[in-house]
């Protein structure tokens, strides 16, 4: 399958799902916490409950986790990452027809494989800059698209 990986949507040179998160979803261990974070984001978009569960540390994992494919997520930006922490922003369509951004700094632990531990999260309405790529998926800049 040559579709773009959910974690690569609206990026300049997006990787395909097969070259990005698919191998991780099929059992290849994530080589870094950033790759694990990306694959978990993609799993949320695709509704892969089982993957989200097995990559979540048992001490913080919710007992009940049933995901459905979720098309409201439109873009993921990794702001920075270090050995055990990833700071990212994930953009999604909100109920008002605009976009909001989830800003999270996530902590990971390595126990035979990388696991998500917990995150420090905030959600705010997204205020696009004029030169940002428009989140509607047109491929145009915001100022030449929905920002007109
Ligand atoms: Zn990916
Ligand atoms: Zn637009």
* Domain assignment of residue 129, yes or no: yes
Label the pairing between strands 73-81 and 99-111. Answer: unpaired
Residue carrying the six token digits 């940002």: 132
Residues 9/26, Cβ–Cβ less than 8 Å: no
Given this model, what pLDDT does residue 2 score? 79
Q: What is the pLDDT along the chain (148 residues), one digit of tens a residue?
A: 579 999 999 998 999 999 999 999 999 999 999 999 999 999 999 999 999 999 999 999 999 999 999 889 999 999 999 999 999 999 999 888 889 999 999 999 999 999 999 999 999 999 999 999 899 989 899 999 998 8
* Domain assignment of residue 81, yes or no: yes
* Domain assignment of residue 122, yes or no: yes
Given this model, what pLDDT does residue 92 score? 95
The rounded Å distance from CA 40 to ligand 1 centre is: 9
Given this model, what pLDDT does residue 61 score? 96
* Domain assignment of residue 70, yes or no: yes
* Domain assignment of residue 1, yes or no: no
Given this model, what pLDDT does residue 71 score? 85
Ligand with smallest separation from the Cα of 9: 1
Ligand with smallest separation from the Cα of 21: 1
Range of the structural domain that residue 61 is part of: 6-144
CA atoms 81, 82, 83, 88: torsion sign? negative
CATH number for the domain spanning 112: value is 3.10.450.50
The rounded Å distance from CA 140 to ligand 2 centre is: 7
The rounded Å distance from CA 148 to ligand 1 centre is: 31
Distance CA 93, CA 73 (A): 7
Phi, psi of 98 (to 5 degrees): -100, -160
Residues 114/103, Cβ–Cβ less than 8 Å: no
* Domain assignment of residue 91, yes or no: yes
Ligand with smallest separation from the Cα of 38: 1
Phi, psi of 126 (to 5 degrees): -90, 130
| Number of CB atoms found within 10 A of residue 9's CB | 17
Ligand with smallest separation from the Cα of 137: 2
* Domain assignment of residue 131, yes or no: yes
Residues 129/136, Cβ–Cβ less than 8 Å: no
Given this model, what pLDDT does residue 1 score? 55
Residue carrying the six token digits 């905030």: 122
Domain count, the chain: 1
Ligand with smallest separation from the Cα of 93: 2
Structure tokens, 109: 């632990």
* Domain assignment of residue 139, yes or no: yes
Task: Say whether 36 sits in a helix, a strand or coil.
Answer: helix
């Amino acid at each position: 399958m040559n579709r773009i990986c959910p974690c690569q949507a609206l990026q300049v040179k997006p990787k395909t799902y097969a070259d990005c998160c698919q191998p991780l979803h099929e059992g290849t261990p994530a080589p870094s916490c950033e790759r694990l974070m990306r694959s978990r984001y993609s799993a949320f978009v695709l509704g892969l409950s089982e993957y989200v569960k097995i990559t979540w540390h048992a001490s913080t994992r919710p007992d009940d986790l049933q995901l459905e494919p979720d098309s409201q997520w439109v873009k993921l930006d990794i702001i920075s990452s270090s050995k055990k922490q990833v700071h990212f922003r994930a953009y999604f369509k909100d109920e008002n027809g605009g976009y909001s951004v989830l800003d999270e700094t996530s902590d990971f632990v390595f126990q035979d494989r990388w696991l998500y531990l917990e995150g420090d999260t905030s959600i705010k309405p997204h205020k696009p800059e004029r030169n940002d790529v428009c989140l509607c998926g047109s491929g145009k800049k915001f100022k030449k698209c929905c920002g007109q």
